[in-house]
C-alpha cells in the first residue's frame, strides 16, 4: 500500500514502471446537508497497481461507496463536495480533469458495476441499446458494429442467446442476467479499471457465487484492475489480492488478503471477522461489535472506533492514530502498534487467535 | 428515526427518544417553516371569521351612506368608493356604500364553514364507503367502486351546479350537503386502496383470530393506520371546497347574498361593476380566498411531509 | 396491443352504462316536469295528463329510461337498438337523438354542435400551451435544482395553484380590459362591431373574405381566457413534472449512464426524461376532465359561447335535455380520455404487459 509518486504527474504520456494505475491520496469527500456536514470520506489513501485487485471493506455508511463515487466523480455537487486530496489515474489527477475529459475516463478507462441490477439498467431501453451506447461513446464505430460488439460482450459474460437478449428490456431478464449485462456493459470498452460496488449484494446466494466467479475469471483474462467494494469479507477473500478496511470515512487497516483476514491488526477488523458465522461457532452466540456506527455529525474525538473498542485507553480518545505498520507487514490505524501500546498487544493477539480458531481459518 | 446533531447524547450512542407517531409528526410539522406559515395564515382567517364581526367598527350590512361624491374626490359615489376613504380601509361598494371590509369579514364565516364542513363530511363518507369496500372486497367492492368510477367520470362541477340549483335555493346548509354528497368518491378510492394493503397485515389477522367484529376491526384497528393520508387529503379538500363554493355562489346558484354574505356571492355582486373600473370590489374578497387557500395548501404539504416522511418531493 | 385496447373498451362499457343511468336520474331529481303546470288554475288535469302522455311522462321510470337510451321504442327491443338503416328505431341517445331544448325548441344535437367548436378552440389551445410550458419548466427546474428559476417556479406554483380560476379571470378583466389599459377584449370570441357572431353562416363568409383579420380578432379574444386557464394549470402540472423528473434523476440508471461517460445533456434528455415522462403522460391524460370544469369557469367569466357557458345558461332555463346532452358528452369524453391515457402509457412503457 505504499503510495508511489508519479513522476511529474502532469504528463499523462510518461509511463513509469511500477507506477500504480490508481493512486488515491488524502481523499476527502464531504456532504453539506441541513443538519451539518457529513465527512463521509476523510483522508483516504490507497493505490491499485495495473491489473491489481483491491477490496474495500466496511459496514454500510463507512464511506466505501462514496470513495468509489468520488473516483468516478459521480458525487452530486451540491450537497457533496470533494474537499481535498488527489486521485491519480494513469498519470492524471482525475479531480483536475475537465468535465468532457472526465467523460472519456468514465466508461472508457474506468467502468463501474453497481449494486442493484434491478434499478441500474434503464427500464425503457433495450439491453442492446444500453450496451452499444457505451461502445458508441468510447469507440469509433458505427451503430451496426456497436450492436455486434454488444452481442459479443454479452456472450463473453456467459449470457445465453445474446442475439435475443439484446432486443429485450431489463424487466424481462432475471436479476443474475441483468448483473451479467451490467458487467458486459462495463467491460465492453476494455477499461483499465473496473469498480464493482457491492456487485453481488442484491442477488441470491447461488447467483452471487456465479457472478463472483465470472468477475474473477474476466479479471484474469482481460488483465483489468479491479476495485471491489463490499461489506462481505467472504466475498473479498475469494476475489482480491489486497484489502483495505474502512471505518467512519477512514482506512483503518490495509494489507494483503492473508495478512488482513488471517492476522487482523485492528480491533475493528477482528470484530468484523468475529461476526462471521463459522462452522465451529455452531451453537454459540455470534459475537458482534458492541455499540453502533457513530453519528456522522458527531464523530468521537481521537480514534473513531475508540468508543466501541474493548482495548481502548486514554491515548485513543486524545488523538487519532496514523496508519502504523503492524508486525506482520500490514498497516493498522491503531495505537496498539505504537510503542505505548506494546504492553496491551498481548491481550489483543490472544483474542485474535481465539477469533481465528472459531472462524475456522 | 435518524437522530440529529442536537439530540445526540454525549456518549455517542443512538438517542432513542420514545415519541409516538403523532408527537413525531407534530415535531416534523413544527420544523416545516412553510407549513407553520400556512397554518398561521389559515388560523388567522378562522379567527377573523369567529371574532371579526364583533370587533368591526361598522354594522354588518347595509350602511346607509347617502353620498354624491366620494369623500375628498370628484369620483361619483353611486358605485362605491375606493379604499381608504373616510375610514373604510377596503373601500365601500354599491350605491348603498356598504363597507367592503365588513362584507369580507362576514363572508369569511360561511365560506370557511362550508369549506371545512363539506371537507369533513365528505371525508367521513369516503372513509366509510372506502373502508367497507376495501375491507370486504368481493361484490360489495365491485358495486361501490363502480359507483365511484361513475361519479369520478362525471364532470363534478357540472353536477354540483345542477344539484345546487335544484335543491339549494340559496340555503348554505344545502350547499354544504351537496358538496359533501358529491365530493366523497375521491377519498373513498384512496381509503379503499389503503385498506386493501392494511387488511393483509398480521395485526388484522390477529384481531380476527380473537373474534373481534368486522366493524370494530375496520374502525378501531385499520382506520387509525390509514389516518395520515386521509388527513392530508381532507385538509387539501377544504381549499377545493372553498373555491367551489365561491364559484357556485358567483354564478348565482350558491349561497344567497341577501341573507348570508360569502366570498363567492360578494364577487357575484361585484361582476357587473368591473367594467366601470371599481377594482377593489372583486379584488379583496378574492384575495381573502387566495390567502386562505394558500395557507391550507402550505399546511397540507407540511402535513404530508410530517405524517409520511417517505413521501418527499 | 389491439387486443389490449379492445379489452379496455369492453371494460369501459359498464361505466358508460352507469353514466347514462346516473345522468338520467340526475335530471329526474327535480320531479315530473308536468307538475310545473299544476299551480296554474287555467290548466286542467286532462291537459296535464295529455302533456304527460305526449312526452311519455306517464310511463314508469325504467321504461322512460329505456326509451331515452334508445333500447325500447316503437319496435321490439332487440330490433330497436339497431341503427335505422338496419331496420332499428330512431329514438334515444344510442341513435343520436338527444331530444329538443325546452327553452328554444331546437334539436339538442344542434345546440351542442354549435357550442362545441368554441369550447374546443379555447381548451385545446390552452391545453397545448400549458402542457408544453409545464413540461419545459418542470424539467428545467429539476435539472437546475435550487437555482433561482427553480425557487421562482416553486413560488409561482404555490400561488398559481391557490388562485381560483374564475377570480383570476375577473382580475385579468379588471386590470387588463378596462381603462386605462384596455389591452385585450373582456368577452366573446370576436369584435361585435366589425365581425358577425362566431359560428353563424355570415361569420364563415366573413372569415373567407378576411381570414387574417378574423384569425387575429379571434386570437385577441383568446388571450385572456387562455392565459387564465394556462396560469392555474401550469402550476399543478409543472410541479408534477418537476418532482417526476427529480425522481428520475435520482434513479440508479441515471448514475449508470453517467458512469458510462454519457454526456450530461444526453443523460438528462434521453435517460432521465424518457422515464420522467411516463407518469406525466398518465397525469396529462387524466387532466382532460378538468378541461370541462376549466371551460365552464372561463367561458362564464369571458362570455365565451362554448358548451360550459351553454350549460350555465341551460341551468338557468332548467333546460334538462340540453343539460343531459352536455353532461353525457362530457362524461363519455372523460371515460375515453382515461382509456387513451392508459393505452398511451402501455405504448411508451415497455414494462406494461398487454395481457
List the single residue in A35, A36, A300 with the smallest CB-CB distance to B12: A300
Distances (CA, A) of A186 to A166, C217, C248: 15, 60, 22
pLDDT digits over B48-89, tens only? 888 877 777 665 444 455 666 666 666 666 677 777 766 777
CB distance from B7 to chain A under 8 Å?
A: no
3-state SS, one letter per residue, for chain A: CCCCCCCCCCCCCCCCCCCCCEEEEEEEEEEEECCEEEEEEEEEEEEECCCCEEEEECCCCCCHHHHHHHHCCCCCCCCEEEEEEEEEECCEEHHHCCHHHHHHHECCCEEEECCCHHHHCCCCCCHHHHHHHHHHHHCCCCHHHHHHHHHHHHHHCCCCCHHHHCCCCHHHCCHHHHHHHHHHHHHCCCCCEEEEECCCCCCCHHHHHHHHHHHHHHHHHHCCEEEEEECCHHHHHHHCCEEEEEECCEEEEEEEHHHHHHCCCCHHHHHHHHCCCCHHHCCCCCCCCCCCCCCCCCCCCCCCCHHHCCCCCHHHHHCCCCCEECCCCCEECCHHHCHHHHHHHHHHHHHHHHHHHHHCC
Question: Quick one: pLDDT at residue B296?
Answer: 93
Q: Are A253 and A55 in contact (CB under 8 A)?
A: no
List the single residue in C243, C312, C323 with the smallest CB-CB distance to B313: C243
Q: What order do you get walking across the sheet with A92-93 strand by strand? A: A36-48, A22-33, A80-89, A92-93
Supply A339's cell numbers: 510503542
C20 to chain B, closest Cα gap in Å = 9
A260 alpha carbon, distance to own chain's centre: 15
Question: Quick one: pLDDT at residue C136?
Answer: 93
Supply C207's cell numbers: 372569415
CB distance from C159 to chain B under 8 Å?
A: yes
Question: Quick one: pLDDT at residue B77?
Answer: 64
Question: Quick one: pLDDT at residue A79?
Answer: 81
Residue B272 pLDDT exceeds 80: no
Residue B294 pLDDT exceeds 70: yes
Which residues of chain A fall below pLDDT 70?
1-18, 277-288, 359-361
C125 alpha carbon, distance to own chain's centre: 12
Q: Is the pTM of this model over 0.90?
A: no
Question: Quick one: pLDDT at residue B6?
Answer: 41
Which residues of chain C fall below pLDDT 50?
none
Identify the sign of the CA torsion B72, B74, B75, B80.
Answer: positive
C142 alpha carbon, distance to own chain's centre: 30
Cα B200 to Cα C168: distance, rounded to the nearest angstrom: 47
Partners of residue C263 in chain A, C-beta under 8 Å: 100, 103
What is the average pLDDT across B166-176?
84
Question: Quick one: pLDDT at residue B115?
Answer: 93
Residue B311 pLDDT exceeds 50: no
CB contact under 8 A, C257 and A99: no
Partners of residue B289 in chain C, C-beta under 8 Å: 164, 167
pLDDT digits over B18-45, tens only? 567 777 788 888 888 888 899 999 999 9
Counting one residue from B and one from C, how many pairs have CB atoms under 8 Å apart? 122
Q: Are C324 and C27 in contact (CB under 8 A)?
A: yes
Question: Quick one: pLDDT at residue B44?
Answer: 92
CB distance from B313 to chain A under 8 Å?
A: no
Question: Quick one: pLDDT at residue A13?
Answer: 44
3-state SS, one letter per residue, for A107-135: CCCEEEECCCHHHHCCCCCCHHHHHHHHH
Give A113's strand partners: A196
Residue-range domains of chain C with CATH: 16-95 (no CATH), 108-348 (1.10.3720.10)
Q: Which chain B residue has its CA at the smallest distance from A295's CA?
A: B12
In what helix (H) or strand (E) does residue B99 lie, and over which residues does it extend? strand B98-99
Q: Are B222 and B128 in contact (CB under 8 A)?
A: no
Q: Are A226 and A43 in contact (CB under 8 A)?
A: no
pLDDT digits over B182-235, tens only? 999 989 999 998 888 888 888 888 888 888 888 888 888 888 888 888 988 999
Interior/surface letters B28-65, b for 16+ CB within 10 angstroms, e for the rest: bbeebeebeebbebbeebeebbeebeeeeebeeeeeeb
Partners of residue A297 in chain B, C-beta under 8 Å: 4-5, 8
Task: Give me the residue label for grid cell 361624491.
Answer: B69
Partners of residue B149 in chain C, C-beta under 8 Å: 15, 18
A237 alpha carbon, distance to own chain's centre: 13
Question: Quick one: pLDDT at residue C197?
Answer: 83
Name the more confident of B124 and B34: B124
Residue-range domains of chain B with CATH: 38-45+100-306 (1.10.3720.10)
CB distance from B139 to chain A under 8 Å?
A: no
Question: Quick one: pLDDT at residue B310?
Answer: 54
CB distance from B104 to chain C under 8 Å?
A: no
Q: How many residues does chain C have?
A: 355
Question: Quick one: pLDDT at residue C231?
Answer: 92
Q: What order do you get walking across the sheet with A250-256 strand by strand? A: A110-113, A193-197, A225-230, A53-57, A242-247, A250-256, A331-332, A324-325
Q: Are A249 and A44 in contact (CB under 8 A)?
A: yes
In what helix (H) or strand (E) does residue B92 lie, and over which residues does it extend? strand B92-93
C244 to chain B, closest Cα gap in Å = 9
Question: Quick one: pLDDT at residue A3?
Answer: 41
A252 to chain C, closest Cα gap in Å = 28
Partners of residue C255 in chain A, C-beta under 8 Å: 74, 114, 120
Chains that touch B (3 or more CB pairs under 8 A): A, C
CB contact under 8 A, B5 and A298: yes
Cα A260 to Cα A272: distance, rounded to the nearest angstrom: 11
Question: Quick one: pLDDT at residue A8?
Answer: 38
Give the list of residues 6+ apart from residue C19 with CB closer than 8 angstroms, or none: B150, B153, B154, C328, C331, C332, C335
Counting one residue from A and one from B, how many pairs have CB atoms under 8 Å apart? 22
pLDDT digits over A142-154, tens only? 888 888 888 988 8
Pairing of strands B92-93, B98-99: antiparallel
Q: Which chain B residue has its CA at the smallest distance from C294's CA?
A: B157
Mutation target among C250, C252, C254, C260 for the A interface, most CBs of A within 10 A: C260
pLDDT digits over A154-184, tens only? 888 888 888 888 888 888 888 888 888 888 8
Partners of residue B13 in chain A, C-beta under 8 Å: 291-292
CB contact under 8 A, B162 and C26: yes
Mutation target among B2, B12, B305 for the A interface, most CBs of A within 10 A: B12
A contact set with B (CB within 8 A)? 35-36, 291-292, 294-295, 297-298, 300, 307
Amino acid at each position: 500500500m505504499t503510495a508511489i509518486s508519479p513522476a511529474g504527474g502532469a504528463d499523462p504520456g510518461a509511463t513509469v514502471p511500477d507506477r500504480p494505475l490508481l493512486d488515491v491520496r488524502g481523499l476527502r469527500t464531504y456532504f453539506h446537508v441541513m443538519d451539518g456536514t457529513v465527512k463521509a470520506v476523510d483522508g483516504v489513501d490507497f493505490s491499485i497497481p495495473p491489473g491489481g485487485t483491491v477490496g474495500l471493506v466496511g459496514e454500510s455508511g463507512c464511506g466505501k461507496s462514496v470513495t468509489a463515487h468520488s473516483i468516478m466523480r459521480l458525487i452530486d455537487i451540491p450537497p457533496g463536495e470533494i474537499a481535498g486530496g488527489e486521485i491519480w489515474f494513469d498519470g492524471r489527477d482525475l479531480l483536475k480533469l475537465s468535465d468532457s475529459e472526465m467523460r472519456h475516463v468514465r466508461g472508457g478507462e474506468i467502468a463501474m458495476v453497481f449494486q442493484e441490477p434491478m434499478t441500474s439498467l434503464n427500464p425503457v431501453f433495450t439491453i442492446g441499446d444500453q450496451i452499444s451506447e457505451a461502445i458508441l461513446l468510447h469507440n469509433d464505430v458505427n451503430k451496426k458494429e456497436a450492436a455486434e460488439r454488444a452481442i459479443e460482450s454479452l456472450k463473453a459474460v456467459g449470457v445465453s442467446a445474446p442475439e435475443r437478449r439484446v432486443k429485450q428490456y431489463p424487466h424481462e431478464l432475471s436479476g443474475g442476467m441483468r448483473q451479467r449485462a451490467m458487467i458486459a456493459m462495463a467491460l465492453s470498452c476494455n477499461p483499465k479499471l473496473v469498480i464493482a460496488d457491492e456487485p453481488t449484494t442484491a442477488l441470491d446466494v447461488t447467483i452471487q457465487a456465479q457472478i463472483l466467479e465470472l468477475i474473477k475469471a474476466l479479471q484474469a483474462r482481460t488483465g483489468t484492475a479491479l476495485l471491489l467494494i463490499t461489506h462481505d469479507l467472504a466475498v473479498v477473500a475469494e476475489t482480491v489480492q489486497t484489502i483495505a478496511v474502512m471505518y467512519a470515512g477512514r482506512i483503518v487497516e490495509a494489507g494483503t488478503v492473508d495478512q488482513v483476514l488471517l492476522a487482523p491488526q485492528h480491533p475493528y477488523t477482528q470484530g468484523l471477522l468475529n461476526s462471521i458465522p463459522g462452522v465451529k461457532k455452531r451453537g454459540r452466540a455470534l459475537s458482534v461489535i458492541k455499540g453502533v456506527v457513530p453519528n456522522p455529525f458527531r464523530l468521537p474525538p481521537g480514534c473513531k472506533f475508540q468508543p466501541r473498542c474493548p482495548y481502548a485507553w486514554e491515548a485513543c480518545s486524545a488523538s487519532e492514530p496514523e496508519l502504523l505498520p503492524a508486525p506482520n507487514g500490514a498497516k493498522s490505524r491503531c495505537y496498539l502498534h505504537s510503542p505505548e501500546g506494546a504492553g496491551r498487544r498481548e491481550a489483543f493477539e490472544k483474542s485474535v487467535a481465539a477469533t481465528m480458531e472459531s472462524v475456522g481459518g | 428515526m435518524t437522530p440529529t446533531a442536537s439530540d445526540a447524547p454525549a456518549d455517542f450512542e443512538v438517542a432513542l427518544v420514545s415519541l409516538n407517531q403523532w408527537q413525531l409528526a407534530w415535531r416534523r410539522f413544527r420544523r416545516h417553516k412553510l407549513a407553520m406559515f400556512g397554518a398561521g395564515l389559515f388560523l388567522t382567517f378562522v379567527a377573523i371569521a369567529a371574532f371579526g364581526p364583533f370587533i368591526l367598527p361598522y354594522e354588518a350590512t347595509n350602511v346607509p351612506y347617502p353620498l354624491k361624491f366620494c369623500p375628498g374626490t370628484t369620483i361619483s359615489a353611486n358605485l362605491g368608493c375606493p379604499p381608504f376613504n373616510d375610514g373604510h380601509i377596503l373601500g365601500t361598494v354599491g350605491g348603498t356604500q356598504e363597507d367592503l371590509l365588513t362584507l369580507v369579514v362576514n363572508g369569511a364565516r360561511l365560506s370557511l364553514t362550508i369549506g371545512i364542513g363539506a371537507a369533513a363530511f365528505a371525508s367521513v363518507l369516503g372513509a366509510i364507503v372506502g373502508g367497507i369496500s376495501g375491507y370486504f372486497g368481493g361484490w360489495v367492492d365491485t358495486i361501490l367502486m363502480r359507483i365511484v368510477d361513475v361519479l369520478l367520470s362525471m364532470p363534478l362541477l357540472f353536477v354540483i351546479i345542477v344539484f345546487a340549483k335544484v335543491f339549494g335555493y340559496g340555503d348554505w346548509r344545502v350547499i354544504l350537503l351537496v358538496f359533501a354528497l358529491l365530493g366523497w368518491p375521491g377519498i373513498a378510492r384512496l381509503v379503499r386502496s389503503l385498506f386493501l394493503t392494511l387488511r393483509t397485515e398480521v395485526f388484522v389477522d390477529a384481531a380476527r383470530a380473537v373474534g373481534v367484529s368486522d366493524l370494530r376491526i375496520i374502525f378501531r384497528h385499520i382506520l387509525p393506520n390509514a389516518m395520515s393520508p386521509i388527513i392530508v387529503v381532507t385538509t387539501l379538500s377544504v381549499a377545493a371546497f372553498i373555491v367551489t363554493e365561491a364559484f357556485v355562489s358567483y354564478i348565482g346558484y350558491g349561497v344567497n347574498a341577501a341573507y348570508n354574505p360569502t366570498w363567492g356571492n360578494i364577487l357575484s355582486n361585484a361582476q357587473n361593476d368591473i367594467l366601470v373600473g371599481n377594482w377593489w370590489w372583486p379584488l379583496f374578497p378574492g384575495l381573502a380566498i387566495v390567502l386562505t387557500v394558500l395557507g391550507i395548501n402550505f399546511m397540507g404539504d407540511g402535513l404530508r411531509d410530517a405524517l409520511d416522511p417517505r413521501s418527499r418531493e | 396491443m389491439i387486443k389490449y385496447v379492445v379489452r379496455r373498451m369492453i371494460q369501459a362499457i359498464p361505466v358508460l352504462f352507469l353514466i347514462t343511468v346516473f345522468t338520467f336520474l340526475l335530471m329526474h331529481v327535480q320531479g315530473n316536469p308536468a307538475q310545473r303546470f299544476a299551480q296554474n288554475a287555467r290548466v286542467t288535469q286532462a291537459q296535464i295528463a295529455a302533456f304527460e302522455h305526449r312526452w311519455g311522462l306517464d310511463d314508469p321510470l325504467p321504461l322512460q329510461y329505456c326509451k331515452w337510451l334508445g333500447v325500447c321504442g316503437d319496435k321490439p327491443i332487440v330490433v330497436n337498438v339497431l341503427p335505422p338503416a338496419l331496420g332499428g328505431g330512431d329514438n334515444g341517445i344510442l341513435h343520436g337523438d338527444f331530444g329538443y331544448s325546452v327553452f328554444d325548441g331546437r334539436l339538442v344535437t344542434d345546440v351542442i354542435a354549435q357550442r362545441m367548436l368554441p369550447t374546443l378552440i379555447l381548451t385545446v389551445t390552452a391545453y397545448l400551451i400549458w402542457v408544453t410550458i409545464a413540461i419545459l419548466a418542470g424539467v428545467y427546474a429539476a435539472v437546475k435544482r435550487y437555482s433561482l428559476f427553480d425557487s421562482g417556479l416553486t413560488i409561482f406554483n404555490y400561488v398559481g395553484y391557490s388562485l381560483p380560476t374564475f377570480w383570476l379571470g375577473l382580475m385579468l378583466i379588471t386590470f387588463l380590459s378596462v381603462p386605462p389599459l384596455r389591452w385585450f377584449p373582456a368577452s366573446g370570441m370576436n369584435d361585435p362591431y366589425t365581425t358577425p357572431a362566431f359560428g353563424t353562416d355570415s361569420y364563415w363568409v366573413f372569415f373567407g373574405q378576411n381570414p387574417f383579420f378574423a384569425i387575429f380578432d379571434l386570437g385577441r379574444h383568446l388571450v385572456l381566457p387562455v392565459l387564465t386557464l394556462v396560469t392555474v394549470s401550469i402550476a399543478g402540472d409543472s410541479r408534477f413534472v418537476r418532482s417526476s423528473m427529480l425522481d428520475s434523476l435520482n434513479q440508479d440508471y441515471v448514475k449508470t449512464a453517467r458512469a458510462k461517460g454519457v454526456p450530461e445533456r444526453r443523460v438528462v434528455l434521453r435517460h432521465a426524461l424518457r422515464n420522467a415522462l411516463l407518469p406525466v403522460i398518465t397525469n396529462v391524460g387524466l387532466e382532460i376532465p378538468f378541461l370541462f370544469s376549466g371551460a365552464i369557469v372561463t367561458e362564464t367569466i369571458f362570455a365565451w359561447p362554448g358548451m360550459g357557458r351553454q350549460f350555465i345558461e341551460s341551468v338557468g332555463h332548467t333546460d334538462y335535455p340540453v343539460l343531459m346532452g352536455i353532461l353525457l358528452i362530457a362524461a363519455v369524453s372523460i371515460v375515453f380520455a382515461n382509456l387513451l391515457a392508459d393505452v398511451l402509457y402501455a405504448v411508451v412503457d415497455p414494462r406494461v404487459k398487454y395481457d
